[in-house]
Structure 1
Amino acid sequence: MSDVSAAARPRECAVPAEPFRGQWLRDTYALTDAEMGVTALALEPEVTGRARPTVADALASVPGAERRHFQGDAPLISERIVALLGDGPLIARRMALDEQIADVLLGQNGLDRRLVPFCTLTSPPPSLWAEAPLPDERRAALLVAVQAAWGRRLRLHFDGPRGSGRRTTARALAGRLGVPLLTVDAPPGPDLMFHVLREASLHGALLYAPDDLADEVRGYPGVAVTAGAGPLPGPPGDTVEVSFARPCYEVRHRVWTVRLAAAGMDAAPAAELAARFRFGPDRIGGAVAAAAATWAVERAMRPPQSGQPDPDDPTGPDGTAGPGRAELFAAARAQTGHELAALARRIEPLNGWDDLVLPADGLGQLRELCAQVTGRRTVWRDWGFADKASRGRGVTALFTGPPGTGKTMAAEVVAGELGLDLYTIDLSSVVSKYIGETEKNLEKVLAAAGDADAVLLFDEADALFGRRGEVRDARDRYANVETSYLLQRLEQYDGIALLATNLRRHLDPAFTRRLGFVVDFPLPGEAERRLIWERSLPARAPRGDDLDLSALAGEFPLTGGEIRNVVLRAAFAAAAAGQPIGQGDVLEAIRREHRKTGRVTPAAGEA
């Protein structure tokens, strides 16, 4: 579809390229010869540096100039083309040509200097249209509507949450139309807003402004877009509402593909990235740029393999020709979680499947959980299951078992497998003794988590989702209402929520029924303890000849968490002594671990 023709653009800046470009001014404000003569006289100080002329000078030197040309309702004054300075008699006041008009007449097309702190004027490329975060049908309909209305007054309002792509769509629309985009970044005040509208009209621009300027924008004679979190208050009038939601998978996939290709990267990870991260084009662009910058730095810092580094070598530190899946996922994660970080604690997933020691059923459930996340688009959208279920599209799991049996490690493994951040929720920041505050706090956490595309881990979940009890007073009644609300809200959450508890019996039965997975983490047996001992010792850690992991596994019924604590304590003791990790170091660490928990260390053979 062709761009809007120049003739269709309102008050287009295609003015004659002559030193004094007065025809645009004459046509725009229907000025007479006398008014154009006054304007030319007021322009002289901008060229010659002479003193500003007075009204008396204009009446004396400009043919046809009269006092009525300087009245408040005359175009020169009402349209703020000329300002009268000072006080006193009219004929004694000096004339100052508005600097925006002076720039136009002198052939300077840049943004009005007074508007620089508040506005930006850009010329988006036509290729940006592919990144507009709307389904293809709505995108095409929007373009047709704007093209048909170009040259006339049209109001559009883009309403949707932050990150839904409202600004990107405005930029893409301007690029596709082949016109500039004037964006109002901060309220300029009522006086300067007049100049904003004139600047947009001067450049024949698409105007984009926040919704709190909707009334002021109504004065723009072209196409203007306002944006806000919701519809404009009151009757729509002449405004067309365009609703934005979180971009769907198809839109995200398209934008990832376009951005990766434009950056010269392999677009193969686009499908997986679009499925895992649900943010819009701005963050997608930020992730691609960050991945490219990180990769370039790592490539520059790579030590040469032989001789001097080859500046034309396109490969990165791992031999690849650009950022790979890991770099792109890391860059995508960095785009989110900023609000969630104030409400939860981020855990860096360091453990993998090989570090996790669980019965086969537990490992199978964890892999099934991951498969449910990676396959939810296929099931919900492609296979139509979304039409059969209005809620419960998130992935929830309960990890239950004694302390130290690997519940947090399992959450790390799940987050690492999915390439997502893991955040653990501090219950002290959620649970409140004040009525209604717990619900509000949980709502903040889930809203921030949904925006962050992160894995949530609620430790000690029984404190938040406890069993409802018998009602004896108003406080008991409210506690039950609170629990019911929390259960319903978690069921509506469409992200990934993992809940860990040491006391499953304290959880409300209705809550357990609503979970997708319940994974038991039992105390490890001797064979499992032997594996944990082995996997807790890094391959580079020196081992003494007397270190007997099988004997340790058989004699001491420790949990996985306790074994890892013992190994670390023994490693520091061995390092301080300047020797490999020996059996004596481990036994002393075991004694201290038992003493820490108030237990008696069994003698060899008594366990």
Structure 2
Amino acid sequence: MNDGYSDSAEHLAAELARADRLVRAQVLWFRHELGRLKPADQWGLPSVGEAEVDAYLAAEGPPEPPPEVVAELTAAHDEAEEIAARVRVTTVPLRLSTLVERCGLSGAERDLVLLCLLPGTDGRYRRLFGYLADDATVTGPTRELAARIVPGPSPLSATGPLVRHQLIVDGPGGLRLDRRIAGFLTGDDTADDRVADVLTVASPGPSLDELVLDPAMRARLRELARALDERAFVLLHGPYGAGRRTLAAALCHETGRPLLYAHVTDPSRVDLCRREALLRGAALCWVDADPALGVDRANPGLTFATAETPWDPAGQGTGSGFLRVDLPAPGYGPRRDLWLAMLPPDAELDTPPRKVLAELLANTFQLTAGQIADAIGSARGAAKVRAPGTAALSQDDLYEGCRRQAARRLVAFARRIEPRTELGFDDLVLPTANRVQLDELRARITLRSKVFSELGFDRRLSLGRGVVAMFTGGSGTGKTMAAELLAREQGADLYKVDLSAVASKYVGETEKNLDRVFADAEQTNAMIFFDEADALFAKRGEVKEAKDRWANVEMAFLLQRVEEFSGVVVLASNLRQNIDTAFLRRLHAIVDFPPPDAHARLRIWRGMFPDAVTAPGTDELSRLAERFSLSGGSIKNVVLDAAFRALRADPAATAVSLRELVLSVGREYQKLGLPITPGGFGTPFYEWFGEELLHG
């Protein structure tokens, strides 16, 4: 009874010994036919002697092998049966058998692999193959010699596994075994150096239960894992950081397969990557796969591909094995769970409790798992710059880390508004009723993710999941400041759309530009601010000429795109009555910013002076507030102009006088085209202005 092989080396030695018999048989046959007729001084030369020609002409058919050749071939056949019997009872992995099975080699193809391996294990065979080829430059079996030693259909057909998997290379010195295959058979598991820089062995993947997934999605993926076979090609489509590679590892974990990641941009390396996966018995995952590389062709094993842009292979039919799994950006609930899983412990946070912080971050930033991990890494860097001696992360650090993941192309059509960190909602002067409107908007922005995700409205509403608000009021009443404060409260960037860059005279270009603004804002989690919105969202008119028709098409696109937007859009307009009524229906909130009354103006005057500047007293500021009906923006201009005026008079000044403020009010009136009269300014304000600025 045969015992199994103790290891792969013992089995390979037995197979090489059998291959040696095949070579010996060919040498004996060569000596019997050509060798006895070849002059000694003609060996290795391309010459045919008269005796050789006469022998060929005298032969009546193919020569019969001499008895000694038959004996070697019979012994090789018997050894093949004995080896096969021992392999059947072997309990350890055998590399040659693994290669045969995974590459689908026939017996003849396996024997050719062994013949090509012989010269690498013993230098004598390089001379023997040169002798058999009657060519001293030959060091391996030639195609003709291989056909004599391994009779039957050619094992080197163009579509056969030896060529398809690049196991054997045909060179000027004859056939040779690819160096990676030779290394594999002899116990070397070093990756092929031609693809070592593009292949990565995946760490043991998490189970599906360890991933943050919607329960229904987890159940579907578990069913998918059970159904995967060696012919499956699975495209994992989703945005950056959606967990495509992690999911591939998890599916392999469920099926007990190792996984290789391949980052390939060169088509010549595709087949080598496939072969490396075959040798390792691993699934292969093409990272950021480009279908132009041919990665979607028939693969010998389980294959994954990750892509941000979905694609389907051409020519797929029944039984193609192609599957596409779409991985959308996580909703509010999964985002919150991801933040809770990735945030450091409370001891390392200088923030609200982790649970509260996770809810705030998940509500504001629509990030994927990978982006959340990157954001936390960026936040750690920001914390070290802010306070090198501490490792504690603040809420602002995390907001900054999230915003850094958001920076993309919005700069082409929008300008980021830097927040004024010292100002808050208390500094925004509004009547009580309008303040309530603004507070309702703040709550809607803060709670929108919970309402749609946790209360289930996202399953009822396909559109209108964002927040669209309009601020109406005159110039300088605080509309831009309110938008800044909303963005800062959420930790998001505020981008003011540049209407001059967006609008185009060419048909369709304005729509393209606006679509890019909204798409980039969704990717960057930014808040969009349209100032002078009535320029874009004006009422549609009657179509009287071609330009009217295109203006209406542009407006229709805007209405659709705003409703599809999942973020926050704030529009500011001085002329609410000019806004299209169809757009007003899509607004979630309208906040009016009326001109400030005297009491509100006094609050603005008092709040406009920094701590380093001494302002006039309350009574004097009250006189200004009562006398001059200025907006908050104009009051800001007046105070700033007065500061320059004070420093011009005295470079060491740290106070602004009432007189300097009155003079600056006069300049603001001139700029706005308002009349400067004794009745409007009163005494002595008009006299001050006349003495210094009218008469010099």
- TM-score (norm. length: structure 2): 0.72
What is the 5 A alignment of 1:299-448? 299-300=387-388, 302=389, 315-316=390-391, 322-350=392-420, 351-448=423-520
Asked which structure has the greater RCO (Cα within 8 Å, sep 6+), the reply is: 1
Q: Structure 2 vs 1, CA of residues 38 and 399 (structure 1 numbering), >3 Å: closer, same or farther?
A: same
2:393 partner SS: coil
2:170 partner SS: strand
The reply to whether residue 284 of structure 1 matches residue 372 of structure 2 is yes
1:115 partner SS: coil
Deviates more, 1:180-189 or 1:71-80: 71-80
Deviates more, 1:434-443 or 1:571-580: 571-580
Find the counterpart in structure 2 of residue 72 from structure 1.
156
Contact 2:258 2:283 in 1 (8 A): yes
Give the Å deviation of 1:138: 2.1
Deviations 1:45-77 (A, max 9, x none): 9xxxx9998952797999999423696337655
Find the counterpart in structure 2 of residue 308 from structure 1.
none
Deviations 1:466-485 (A, max 9, x none): 11223322322332333233
Deviates more, 1:508-517 or 1:592-601: 592-601
Q: Structure 2 vs 1, CA of residues 225 and 569 (structure 1 numbering), >3 Å: closer, same or farther?
A: same
1:255 to 338, 341, 353: 338
Find the counterpart in structure 2 of residue 5 from structure 1.
none
Identify unmatched segments of 5+ residues in structure 1: 1-13, 87-92, 303-314, 317-321
2:203 to 109, 124, 141: 124
The reply to whether residue 158 of structure 1 matches residue 236 of structure 2 is yes
Find the counterpart in structure 1 of residue 613 from structure 2.
541
Deviates more, 1:479-488 or 1:131-140: 131-140
Q: Structure 2 vs 1, CA of residues 507 and 545 (structure 1 numbering), >3 Å: closer, same or farther?
A: closer
Q: Structure 2 vs 1, CA of residues 138 and 546 (structure 1 numbering), >3 Å: closer, same or farther?
A: closer
The reply to whether residue 141 of structure 1 matches residue 220 of structure 2 is yes
The residue type equivalent to 1:285 in the other structure is A
Deviates more, 1:391-400 or 1:140-149: 140-149
Give the Å deviation of 1:129: 5.3
Give the Å deviation of 1:595: 3.2
2:381 to 285, 288, 293: 293
Give the Å deviation of 1:113: 2.6
Contact 1:339 1:448 in 2 (8 A): yes
Write the distance in 1 (CA, Å) between the matches of 2:334 and 2:548: 48
The residue type equivalent to 2:272 in the other structure is H
Give the Å deviation of 1:198: 0.7
Contact 1:126 1:178 in 2 (8 A): no
Find the counterpart in structure 2 of residue 311 from structure 1.
none
The reply to whether residue 56 of structure 1 matches residue 158 of structure 2 is no
Write the distance in 2 (CA, Å) between the matches of 1:599 and 1:15: 98
Give the Å deviation of 1:450: 1.5
Q: Structure 2 vs 1, CA of residues 439 and 62 (structure 1 numbering), >3 Å: closer, same or farther?
A: closer
The residue type equivalent to 2:358 in the other structure is A
Deviates more, 1:411-420 or 1:337-346: 337-346
Write the distance in 2 (CA, Å) between the matches of 1:130 and 1:258: 14
The residue type equivalent to 1:596 in the other structure is K
Give the Å deviation of 1:566: 2.4
Write the distance in 2 (CA, Å) between the matches of 1:121 and 1:261: 28
1:200 to 277, 290, 293: 277
The residue type equivalent to 1:82 in the other structure is I
The residue type equivalent to 2:574 in the other structure is N
Q: Structure 2 vs 1, CA of residues 126 and 160 (structure 1 numbering), >3 Å: closer, same or farther?
A: closer
Deviates more, 1:379-388 or 1:61-70: 61-70
Deviates more, 1:427-436 or 1:77-86: 77-86
Deviations 1:259-293 (A, max 9, x none): 22599856422222222222211111101111123
Find the counterpart in structure 2 of residue 307 from structure 1.
none
Find the counterpart in structure 2 of residue 112 from structure 1.
192
Write the distance in 2 (CA, Å) between the matches of 1:289 and 1:231: 32
What is the 5 A alignment of 1:507-526? 507-526=579-598
Find the counterpart in structure 2 of residue 593 from structure 1.
668
What is the 5 A alignment of 1:148-297? 149=228, 152-162=230-240, 164-174=242-252, 179-189=257-267, 191-209=268-286, 210=289, 212=291, 215-228=294-307, 229-232=309-312, 235=316, 237-261=320-344, 267-268=354-355, 269-297=357-385
Give the Å deviation of 1:459: 0.9
Q: Structure 2 vs 1, CA of residues 388 and 75 (structure 1 numbering), >3 Å: closer, same or farther?
A: closer
Q: Structure 2 vs 1, CA of residues 35 and 578 (structure 1 numbering), >3 Å: closer, same or farther?
A: same
Write the distance in 2 (CA, Å) between the matches of 1:439 and 1:265: 46
The residue type equivalent to 1:489 in the other structure is R
The reply to whether residue 487 of structure 1 matches residue 559 of structure 2 is yes
The residue type equivalent to 2:393 in the other structure is P
Q: Structure 2 vs 1, CA of residues 53 and 107 (structure 1 numbering), >3 Å: closer, same or farther?
A: farther
Q: Structure 2 vs 1, CA of residues 26 and 137 (structure 1 numbering), >3 Å: closer, same or farther?
A: same
Contact 1:347 1:422 in 2 (8 A): yes
Write the distance in 2 (CA, Å) between the matches of 1:528 and 1:545: 16
Write the distance in 1 (CA, Å) between the matches of 2:555 and 2:450: 33
Deviations 1:416-469 (A, max 9, x none): 112211111111122222222222222111111122222111111111011122
Give the Å deviation of 1:17: 12
1:363 partner SS: helix
Q: Structure 2 vs 1, CA of residues 359 and 43 (structure 1 numbering), >3 Å: closer, same or farther?
A: farther
2:269 partner SS: helix
The residue type equivalent to 1:259 in the other structure is M
- TM-score (norm. length: structure 1): 0.82
Find the counterpart in structure 2 of residue 580 from structure 1.
654
Deviates more, 1:52-61 or 1:289-298: 52-61
Q: Structure 2 vs 1, CA of residues 341 and 216 (structure 1 numbering), >3 Å: closer, same or farther?
A: same
The residue type equivalent to 1:84 in the other structure is D
Find the counterpart in structure 2 of residue 312 from structure 1.
none
Q: Structure 2 vs 1, CA of residues 520 and 112 (structure 1 numbering), >3 Å: closer, same or farther?
A: same
Give the Å deviation of 1:557: 2.2
Contact 1:121 1:180 in 2 (8 A): no
Write the distance in 1 (CA, Å) between the matches of 2:250 and 2:370: 12
The residue type equivalent to 1:183 in the other structure is Y
Q: Structure 2 vs 1, CA of residues 602 and 123 (structure 1 numbering), >3 Å: closer, same or farther?
A: farther
1:375 partner SS: helix
Deviations 1:539-560 (A, max 9, x none): 2334477994223322332211
Find the counterpart in structure 1 of residue 572 from structure 2.
500
Contact 1:400 1:518 in 2 (8 A): yes
Q: Structure 2 vs 1, CA of residues 455 and 72 (structure 1 numbering), >3 Å: closer, same or farther?
A: same
Write the distance in 1 (CA, Å) between the matches of 2:101 and 2:132: 22
Write the distance in 2 (CA, Å) between the matches of 1:112 and 1:261: 40
Contact 2:168 2:177 in 1 (8 A): yes
Q: Structure 2 vs 1, CA of residues 51 and 370 (structure 1 numbering), >3 Å: closer, same or farther?
A: farther
2:234 partner SS: strand
Give the Å deviation of 1:26: 5.4
> How many positions carry a matched residue from both structures?
563
What is the 5 A alignment of 1:548-563? 548-563=620-635
The reply to whether residue 39 of structure 1 matches residue 117 of structure 2 is yes
Give the Å deviation of 1:414: 0.9
Write the distance in 2 (CA, Å) between the matches of 1:534 and 1:54: 103
Deviations 1:86-108 (A, max 9, x none): 3xxxxxx2555434335535655
Give the Å deviation of 1:517: 1.3
Contact 1:133 1:247 in 2 (8 A): no
Write the distance in 1 (CA, Å) between the matches of 2:463 and 2:412: 28
